Structure 1
Amino acid sequence: MQAIEPSVRRESGPIAIVLVPTKELVQQTYEVFQKLLTSFVRIVCSPLVGGSNRNHEKKRLRRGLNILISTPGRLCDHIDNTQSLSLKNIQFLIFDEADKMLDMGFADAIKKIIETIGKQMDPDKRFQRVLLSATPTTALSHFVDIILNKKALRIDISEEFNPESVITVPKTLKQMFTIVPSKLRFVTLIAFLLKIFNNKGKSEAKVLLFLATNDLVHFHYEILNTMLNGDKEDDIDEEGDLQFGHLLNEPVKLLRLQGDMTHQERTSVFSEFSKLSRGILLCTNVAARGLDVPSVTWIIQYHPTSPIDYIHRIGRTARLGSIGQSLIFLLPNEAEYVATLQDKYKMSLKGITPDDVLETLMNSCEKLKQHFETRTVIPKTAEQCASSLHHHFEEYVNGSPVRIEQARQAYLSFIRYYASFSREWKYLFHVKNLHRGHIAKSFGLKELPDESNNHTIKERKETFGSKPKVNKPIKTNDDEIDEEAAPSTPPPPPPPVNTEKKSLFDRLPFANKPVARTRFRNFSHISEFGSGLEVTSKSHKKKDKIDEFLEKKRERNTSKHQIGRKKTRENK
């Protein structure tokens, strides 16, 4: 842009547009451009993101901007509503993380932007389009065919480092995986975090903890903060001891970053975590692409995702030659996921067993003791520590109706997420392979939630305690109903009378309809190391009555058959 004649100035209007998928990436890209433009004061750059003040952005556009960094949706909004925005001088249109924008449904917005630029430009002029992505996918190839020309130049810098042109990761990144049953997942996560932050030599650590959905981030943020740092409201119990929690020797700062937060909240969280030298950031895939968070030492993927997203997640650490480590939690039925990463993407992962991780709990035996009516039990083995930790976890979750509802929503959100995997990955992540009882236990629930209304948030707005308010009639002093407060509505019509004639042989309906019994309904007595199946004692009373009824019916039919044969013989 500095070589363009005449020289680019504020009054020249937009010359380049950089489109990125998330607000955090907009802010980060803007900060990089600010550093690059310190020597070119005449070139003006500005971010355009949803959630910020639209009028302020309009004022900046009227004054003149040369480089626009925006999400596709926000730029389309200004194209429709900002008359001062002119794209006739655009020379560069750059798509960063193009495959992610396709996954997020920005294809139509991108087409609209390109069509608008084509309409406003002179027919003789052309602009350059650049697509950037670290992971080329099939969808991206189709997008390239539609958006770019057939003569487009493809530059693959991975060929310089890898002649086979496969996806490469830094040599300073150490990848690990652990296969954990559902019922031990949360306990193992706590033990692993204790192993990281209670390490005397390497306690200064920054962890990105990836979870699948917003509900899961919200639930685990509250629980982890209490169990690691303790509950500040009531730390001392009746005996003068610290209540459960305080498992860390030194408190650690926990933050969360998720899609339903406002732009100001997300910017504040990202800035605060970047400045920390010791902390945990719980996040969704919002933080998986393009973000440069300094000094991240660990990437923990508590919920697995597609291999492409896996690669982008671990790319948040071991940047610019620094050392980083990653760990992914897998269920036993997901073990083949490791083979997919190794064979198809040439990844090198080292396995660690849950037993090795749970050994860390032995250092917290005193904090995991259980108080009973007559005695206090201190766990002596790793298995007892894990059982005691899960017991405290369940007691804390079930100690409040609010926490029970949060756990229930997190469970339902996880089931929806697991069911949303594409057909390509169903052989690994199929909802039928999940053990519902163990999954519920990993959220601290003692009863299996009802999944009959397990829909999206929009669909369940009027189902879970958020039903629309109904204006009840207000009675006056004379016991008369106020007609303005409660408009008169006609009473519902009586149900129609059924005049259909029934045969005498039609079976009458049961007075009490039998309800199918739900499996794994109550499993509070199950050990974390047990099978997870509910112990039931079947009653044979009902079966005996049915057998007795069928026996009598067979006898009656037999006697009627014999009487009928005698009568036919006599008639003959």
Structure 2
Amino acid sequence: MEDSSDGLLLNFSIDNGPLTAPANFKGGRWRDRLTAKYGARYRQKKIASHFNSTTKENSHPKAQDPVPGKSHIDTNDVSRSAKRQRVEESLRPTTTKLTTYSGSREKTEKPHQIISSLFTFNPASKTAADEELNSASPIEPSNAPLLDGLSTFTSLGLSPTLSAHLLLKLELKTPTAIQKATIPELIKDDNDAFIQAETGSGKTLAYLLPIVQRIVNSAGTVGNTNKSNGGGKVHRDSGLFAVILAPTRELCRQISVVLESLLRCAHWIVAGTVIGGEKKKSEKARLRKGLNILVATPGRLADHLDNTEALDVRNVRWLVLDEGDRLMELGFEAEIQGIVEKLEKKSQLTKARVSPAGSLPNRKVTILCSATMKMSVQRLGELSLKEAIHLKTDSSNSEEIDGRFEDNFSAPAQLQQSYAVVPAKLRLVTLVAALKRAFVRRGSVMKAIVFISCADSVDFHFQVLSRQNRDDENTKPSAKQELTSGTKLAEDKQVPISTIASATSLCIPDNQVTLHKLHGSLPQNVRTSTLAAFSQSKDPAVLICTDIASRGLDLSNVDLVIEYDPPFSKDDHLHRVGRTARAGRDGRALVYLLPGDEEGYVEILKESYRDGGKRLCRNKVDEILKRGFGSSGVDSGKDWEERATEWQLEVERWVLEDPKNLEMARRAYQSHIRAYATHVTAERDIFNIKNLHLGHLAKAFALRDKPGSIKAPGTRGNKESRKVRRQDGAAAKESQSTGEENKRSKSSRDISMSDPAGVARMKAKMREHMAGISEFNIG
């Protein structure tokens, strides 16, 4: 415009947008101020562009009708760009001004924002999707009982009584391939043996049947035949004949159950267990009464050999090492070596190599069982086996090279394996979608197992999937509920330990799914009752567990195995998927992988197939989400994205509303990252912790914290994040904790190291606090 007074030309450009003063941000950290500044600038540009577009629409009206009832501009209704994060309307920030407490560097708590950006900025997969699995051609099971019409348990050398018991009571008509190869050798010879067969092929019966048969045949040749209750049969006082070692308490329980079912046809033979977590006083009483077959964990058996005089091992004829690779992985090498040496030292058996027919071995026979043959298993064989024979099925791919067995072991042939490349932010919703799809039709899937890397993550996902029925956690369960629902009151806390709940978060119509959780930090009686409840359940059920349930457990009707966290090694994968497709039955397995380097794990998965992985297929993430969250019967576009987003928002609100839930999610996040760093060295380039996107991974745990505020490996926290934030009442809590610490230190000073009872209490307390540290690899 031109001023007529002095001819001065003023060149001002006035835009059509609204005039607003620039926001002034004060206080807080510079990074927070910069973020708020950029956010305000972006919103200002969007308002201006919307104002310009509205002006043009008013001057050139279109066919689209305006929204009724809105004559003014609402900044919250501005159309978003395609990659803008969605912010829930009810939880938008009310102000952008940052303030600080006087004398403190901590900023005030900002309004809680639940931001959902599940489907934006996700890394793309590096590999192309595979073709769909062609299931038209049937696959012959590799671990099913033989159907050649010639192999029967009687033809293998078992007595008619025992064979009839297997047929009528246990419904076992014919043996499996490994049983056919093993039973005759162990009945007629006294050689040490290494039994190798795939999961679900019946290795437990392969060594139990010969032991029971030879003890039954030795009637009248052992012990006191004048006993009124013996009548020439073996009885309690005849001595201990067999010791069976297993790596986990759950596997010991299962072996004991199978053994007890066999001994119903020979009730005079007594079997028992000694495992960790049980009362040693009752175990000593059981040993004093007398046992013929003992099932034990290595640590507890070594303890009894040192401290229990009633345990007489002078006449032990068999030592069985079940799941030998797992025994070595858990660090039981020293205990097993000590057990072998003590059995040899205390043995009073003759040195004869051949036993008369129908009698017990004249020497200690060692049997090593394993589904895989690794260097650790070979080292265990060198410690325990002497001139051993290798018993395997014809379908095994192990070869003996230079005196050592090279392992090419594979999964059952009828197992349908698949994988899914899932971005970190979509992991949680994809897991829920897969479970919803699996149980949407009643009877399609009866039981599923979800393997997770660590105990804290198991607790978090169990609570997430059952969170709607966890309102009254302080209600004390009745005695009946404790027995049937796996709930037990902790000894030192008046809160229930619940391991069974309804999967209400899945929202599956007309199909009630029950959740079970299992990990090594739970009390032993809770673990036992939970596993029994899942195994005996007649309704659809899901078991969320660590690798504690990956070895040797025979859980009936398991149709689906989901490896939510990839296994720590290839062998762990074989054992995990071996919980399904057992004894010739069908089964499915799904493993989750992250985009990027983890996709290289597909080549390792293909090695577990006899055909080189031709039947291994890839499940698309969009298809899993669409089937789990999409509308049934109609194609309504991408409504599944909205439903998945709403479900994620609901979980994030649930985490933010309760400090206990937030702390549980943070612990699960931290433990998951620590567990991720424990992959074997050979696969470390595939599972590289440095390549993890910690921010996206936090989304999978419903966390809104930045990774820097969570103490995790690979992150650089500032001084403020390493300090405990002050809250209301912090001084009172600090004084209270100081008083409790003084009491604990005083009680510790009062305990003299010469007091055995005091030392025992201190060790028990230390074991209680250290219980969860080894959860990453041993469950």
Partner Cα distance (2:330, 2:662) in 1: 32
Q: 1:127 and 2:387 equivalent?
A: no
AA partner of residue 17 (structure 1) = V
Cα distance in 2 between the residues matched to 1:419 and 1:167? 26
Compared CA separation, residues 473 and 355, structure 1 to 2 (3 A):
closer
1:356 aligns with 2:623: yes
| Aligned residue in 2 for 1:384 | 642
State the match for 2:587 in structure 1: 324
Greater shift, 163-172 or 344-353, is seen at 163-172
Following superposition, the deviation at residue 190 of structure 1 comes to: 0.8
Q: Is contact 2:555–2:579 with CA below 8 Å preserved after alignment?
A: yes
Corresponding position of 1:441? 699
- Is 1:174 paired with 2:382? no
Distance 2:740 2:512 in 1: 51
Counterparts of 2:310 and 2:741, CA distance in 1: 53
Match of 1:153 in 2: 389
Distance 1:133 1:221 in 2: 31
Residue deviations 1:74-130 (CA, integer Å, cap 9, x gap): 111111221111111111000000110110111111011111111211374431111
Which residue in 1 is equivalent to 2:212? Answer: none
User: Cα distance, 1:410 vs. partner?
Assistant: 0.4
Aligned to 1:428: 686
Match of 1:206 among 423, 447, 463: 447
Q: Distance in 2 between matches of 1:472 and 1:232?
A: 30
Q: AA paired with 1:156?
A: K
Change (3 A) 1:69 1:351: same
1:10 matched residue in structure 2 = 236
* Alignment of structure 1 residues 413-424 onto 2, 5 Å: 413-424=671-682
Q: Provide the C-alpha distance between the structure 2 equivalents of 1:22 and 1:71, rounded to a whole number of angstroms.
A: 7
**Deviation of residue 463 (structure 1)?**
8.9
8 Å contact from structure 1 (residues 196, 205) kept in 2: no
Residue 419 of structure 1 and its aligned partner are, at CA, apart by 1.1
Q: State the secondary structure of the residue aligned to 2:552.
A: coil
**Within 2, Cα distance between the matches of 1:415 and 1:215?**
11
Separation in 1, partners of 2:264, 2:622: 54
Do the aligned partners of 1:178 and 1:352 also contact (CA within 8 Å) in 2?
Answer: yes
Alignment of 1:206-355 (within 5 A): 206-226=447-467, 245=505, 247-249=507-509, 250-277=511-538, 278-305=540-567, 306-332=569-595, 333-343=597-607, 346-347=612-613, 348-355=615-622
Q: For residues 256 and 283 of structure 2, what CA distance do their matches in structure 1 show? A: 14
Whether 1:137 and 2:400 are equivalent positions in the alignment is no
Corresponding pairs, count: 445
**What secondary structure does 1:292 align onto?**
coil
Identity over aligned pairs, percent:
35
The Cα of 1:387 is off from its aligned counterpart by: 2.3
1:361 and 1:293 map into 2 onto residues whose CA distance is 26
Q: For the structure 1 residues 12 and 453, does the alpha-carbon distance in structure 2 shift closer, same or farther, using more than 3 Å as the test?
A: same
Give the whole-Å Cα distance in 2 for the aligned partners of 1:28 and 1:79.
Answer: 23
- C-alpha distance in 1 between matches for 2:334 and 2:413: 39
- For the residue of structure 1 that corresponds to 2:695, the secondary structure is helix
TM-score by length of 2: 0.54
Determine whether 1:96 maps to 2:337: no
| Kept after mapping to 2: 8 A contact 1:16/1:91 | yes
Q: Is 1:197 paired with 2:439?
A: yes
The alpha-carbon deviation at position 292 of structure 1 amounts to: 0.5
Offset of residue 171 of structure 1: 3.3
Give the Cα–Cα distance (whole angstroms) in 1 for the partners of residues 261 and 364 of structure 2. 25
Contact 2:426 2:700 in 1 (8 A): yes
Instruction: In structure 1, give the amino acid aligned to 2:619.
Output: I
Q: Secondary structure at the match of 2:738?
A: coil
In structure 2, the CA distance between the partners of 1:80 and 1:402, relative to structure 1 (3 Å rule), is: same
Does the Cα contact within 8 Å between 2:629 and 2:644 map onto a contact in 1?
Answer: no
Cα pair 2:411 2:608 within 8 Å, conserved: no
Q: CA offset at residue 364 of structure 1?
A: 5.9
Amino acid at match of 2:217: A
Structure 2 portions without partners, runs of 5+: 1-214, 223-232, 352-362, 400-406, 474-503, 715-722, 747-779
**CA contact under 8 A between 1:230 and 1:246: conserved in structure 2?**
no
CA contact (8 A) 1:257 1:281 kept: yes
Closer, same or farther: CA 86–230 of 1 in aligned 2, 3 Å: closer
Please tell me the residue identity of whatever aligns with 1:405.
Answer: E
1:177-235, CA deviations, whole angstroms, 9 ceiling, x for partnerless residues?
A: 101010110011111111111235x4552111110000010000000113xx666669x
Residue 348 of structure 2: SS of its match in structure 1?
coil
Q: Hey, what's the Cα distance between the residues in 2 that align with 1:281 and 1:351?
A: 24
SS of 1:320's equivalent in the other structure is: coil
Q: Residues 325, 81 of structure 1: CA spacing in aligned structure 2 closer, same or farther, 3 A cutoff?
A: same
Hey, what does 2:114 align to over in structure 1?
none
RMSD of aligned Cα (Å) = 3.1
Equivalent residue letter for 2:457: L
- C-alpha offsets along residues 142-177 of structure 1, whole Å, 9 cap, x if unaligned? 22123222x2211122x3466878323333321111
Tell me the TM-score normalised to structure 1 length. Answer: 0.72
Matched with 1:539 is none
In the alignment, residue 576 of structure 2 is paired with which amino acid?
R
State how far apart, in whole Å, the 2-side matches of 1:445 and 1:223 are. Answer: 13
CA contact (8 A) 1:379 1:385 kept: no
Listed one character per residue, the Cα deviations across residues 26-70 of structure 1 (whole Å, up to 9, x for unaligned) are: 111111111111222222100111122221211111111010000
Report the Cα distance in structure 2 between the residues aligned to 1:72 and 1:384, rounded to whole angstroms. 52
Q: 1:439 to 1:473 in 2, by over 3 A?
A: closer
Listed one character per residue, the Cα deviations across residues 308-338 of structure 1 (whole Å, up to 9, x for unaligned) are 0111111111112222111111111211111
CA distance in structure 2 between the aligned counterparts of 1:246 and 1:32, rounded to whole angstroms: 35
Retained in 1: the 8 A contact 2:464–2:505? no
Shift of 1:246: 5.9
Distance 1:49 1:265 in 2: 15
Task: Establish whether residue 24 from structure 1 lines up as the match of residue 276 from structure 2.
Answer: no
Q: Give the aligned residue type for 1:357.
A: I
**Could you say what secondary structure the match of 1:398 adopts?**
helix
What one-letter code is carried by the residue in structure 2 that aligns with 1:14? L
Residue 445 of structure 2 contacts residue 560 of structure 2 at CA under 8 Å; is this kept in 1?
Answer: no
Aligned mates of 1:472, 1:253 — CA distance in 2: 40
Deviations, residues 422-453 of structure 1 (Å, cap 9, x unaligned): 22111111110100100111101111244547
The SS at the match of 1:198 is: coil
Q: Secondary structure at the match of 2:273?
A: strand
Q: Measure the CA separation in 1 of the matches of 2:740 and 2:335.
A: 46
- Distance in 1, matches of 2:323 and 2:650, equals 43
**Structure 2 SS opposite 1:297:** strand
**Structure 2: how far apart are the matches of 1:285 and 1:303?**
11
Q: Give me the whole-angstrom Cα distance separating, in 1, the residues matched to 2:741 and 2:438.
A: 61
Would you say the 8 A contact 2:315–2:349 is kept in 1? no
Please give the per-residue CA displacement for 1:267-290, whole angstroms capped at 9, x wherever unaligned. 100111112131111111010000
Q: Quote the Cα distance in structure 2 between the aligned partners of 1:289 and 1:391.
A: 36
Q: Which secondary structure does the structure 2 equivalent of 1:403 belong to?
A: helix
Cα 1:463–1:284 change in 2 (3 A) is farther
